[in-house]
C-alpha cells in the first residue's frame, strides 16, 4: 500500500467511525454498507479496506460514479470480484488519457482522499501533471471537516505533482506562510496566474509577499478575511511584482467588529500607485474614503468593474459618481 505523507493524521467522517489515511484501518457505520451514494463522501473511506470487502471492480465503479454523479450499490462481501473472463470491464486497463479525463471530473481533493490508490494504473494517472495545474482547496465540503495538518500535506503533494506547472491555487484556513513558500519554491516563476486565500489567519505579509514577488504572471488575486495580510506598501509591492494583474478582490472583517479596521488606512493608495492594469476591483468592508477612491480611479484607468460593499466611509455623491462615469459596472455602498 502506498504510504502517504499525511498518514499520521486521522479524522472523523460521516461514513466511518474512524479513518486512517494510510489504509491500515477503516470502521464502517453500524447501519451497514448496503448503499452508498456515489458522492465525495465515499472517498472518505479507506479504499484498500473497501476493495478487500467488496472487490476492486466495485470500488472502481463507485469512484467512476463520483465523476458521473450516479448512485451505485456495492455487492455483498460474499460475492467474488468479477474478472475480465466473466465479461466485466477491467477499469485498470483503461487508457491513461481516459483515466485522466475521469480524474479531472473528480478534482484534486477527491483524488488525494483515495481515488488515486485504487490500483497501480490509477495511481499513475493520478500523477499526471495536467491534473494539478489548478488546485481548488477552498470550496470542497470536506475541507471544513479535515484537520489543517492533513490539508497542508495534501496541498504539498498536489503542488509537487504539478511539476512546476501550477497556474491557480485556492486555499482556505489551513494555508500558512510555509505552504506559500513551498508553492513558490516548487512552481515555475511564470506559471502562477490565479491566487485566492480565504480566512488564512496564519498567512502574513512576509509569506504573501514572498510568493507574489515570484509570480510575475499573476492575473487574478483574491484575499478574503486574511487579517495579517495588507497595508499600502504590501499591495504596492504586489502590484509592481505582478504587472499583469487584472482582477483584485479584497474583503476585510466588518469594521464594526474588527480590531484591525483603524489600522487599515491608505491600503487603497497602494492599489492606486501600482496596479494600473486592473480591469476589475472589489473592495468589501475596507477602510477607504472618497479621496482614496478617486486616486484608485485615476491610477487604474482601465477599470471596467468596480464594486464597493460595506465601505461606509465612501459617500456616493455627485462628484464621486462623475469621477466613476467611465466605469462600465459600478457598485457603490449604500449610506447607513
Q: What tens-digit pLDDT sequence spans the chain (336 residues)? A: 443 443 333 333 333 333 333 333 333 333 333 333 333 333 333 444 444 444 445 545 544 454 444 444 444 443 444 555 555 555 556 677 787 887 888 878 888 877 666 677 778 888 888 889 999 998 877 777 888 998 999 999 999 999 999 999 999 999 999 999 999 998 876 799 999 999 999 999 999 999 999 999 999 999 999 999 999 999 999 999 999 999 999 999 875 555 554 556 789 999 999 999 999 999 999 999 999 999 999 999 999 999 999 998 999 999 999 999 999 999 998 764
Residue 206 φ/ψ region, left for φ over 0, alpha for ψ in the -120 to 50 degree band, beta for the rest: alpha
How much is the pLDDT for 61?
53
Q: Which three cell numbers stand for residue 183?
A: 508553492
Q: Which three cell numbers stand for residue 165?
A: 506547472
How much is the pLDDT for 90?
58
- Taking every pair of Cα atoms in the chain, the longest distance, rounded to a whole number of angstroms, is 79
Give every CB contact of residue 186 below 8 A, 6+ residues apart in sequence.
159, 160, 162, 164, 166
| Contact in structure between 43 and 32 (CB atoms under 8 Å) | no
Give every CB contact of residue 317 below 8 A, 6+ residues apart in sequence.
290
How much is the pLDDT for 3?
39
- 111: nearest Cα among 147, 149, 154: 154
Position of cell 506559471? 191
| Contact in structure between 19 and 10 (CB atoms under 8 Å) | yes
How much is the pLDDT for 92?
59
Please state the separation of Cα 336 from the chain's center in Å. 35
| Contact in structure between 184 and 214 (CB atoms under 8 Å) | yes
- 37: nearest Cα among 12, 14, 57: 14
How much is the pLDDT for 335?
62
Amino acid at each position: 500500500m502506498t504510504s502517504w505523507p499525511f498518514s499520521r493524521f486521522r479524522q472523523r467522517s460521516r461514513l466511518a467511525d474512524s479513518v486512517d489515511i494510510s489504509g491500515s484501518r477503516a470502521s464502517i457505520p453500524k447501519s451497514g454498507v448496503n448503499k452508498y451514494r456515489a458522492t465525495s463522501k465515499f472517498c472518505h473511506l479507506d479504499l484498500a479496506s473497501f476493495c478487500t470487502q467488496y472487490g476492486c471492480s466495485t470500488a472502481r465503479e463507485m469512484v467512476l460514479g463520483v465523476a458521473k454523479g450516479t448512485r451505485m450499490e456495492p455487492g455483498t462481501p460474499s460475492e467474488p470480484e468479477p474478472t475480465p473472463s466473466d465479461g466485466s470491464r477491467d477499469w485498470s486497463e483503461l487508457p491513461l488519457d481516459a483515466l485522466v479525463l475521469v480524474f479531472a471530473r473528480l478534482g484534486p481533493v477527491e483524488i488525494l482522499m483515495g481515488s488515486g490508490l485504487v490500483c497501480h494504473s490509477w495511481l499513475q494517472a493520478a500523477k499526471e501533471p495536467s491534473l494539478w495545474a489548478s488546485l481548488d482547496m477552498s470550496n470542497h465540503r470536506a475541507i471544513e471537516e479535515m484537520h489543517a495538518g492533513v490539508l497542508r500535506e495534501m496541498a504539498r503533494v498536489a503542488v509537487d505533482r504539478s511539476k512546476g506547472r501550477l497556474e491557480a491555487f485556492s486555499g482556505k484556513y489551513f494555508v500558512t506562510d510555509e505552504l506559500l513558500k513551498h508553492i513558490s519554491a516548487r512552481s515555475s516563476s511564470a506559471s502562477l496566474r490565479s491566487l485566492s486565500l480565504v480566512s488564512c489567519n496564519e498567512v502574513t505579509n512576509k509569506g504573501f509577499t514572498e510568493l507574489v514577488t515570484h509570480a510575475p504572471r499573476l492575473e487574478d488575486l483574491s484575499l478574503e478575511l486574511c487579517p495579517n495580510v495588507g497595508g499600502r506598501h504590501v499591495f504596492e509591492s504586489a502590484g509592481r511584482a505582478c504587472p499583469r494583474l487584472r482582477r483584485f478582490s479584497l474583503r476585510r472583517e466588518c469594521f464594526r467588529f474588527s480590531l484591525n479596521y483603524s489600522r487599515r488606512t491608505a491600503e487603497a493608495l497602494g492599489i492606486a500607485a501600482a496596479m494600473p492594469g486592473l480591469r476589475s476591483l472589489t473592495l468589501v468592508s475596507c477602510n477607504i474614503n472618497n479621496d482614496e477612491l478617486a486616486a484608485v480611479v485615476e491610477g487604474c484607468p482601465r477599470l471596467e468593474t468596480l464594486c464597493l460593499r460595506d465601505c461606509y466611509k465612501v459617500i456616493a455623491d455627485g462628484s464621486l459618481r462623475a469621477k466613476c462615469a467611465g466605469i462600465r459596472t459600478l457598485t457603490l455602498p449604500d449610506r447607513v
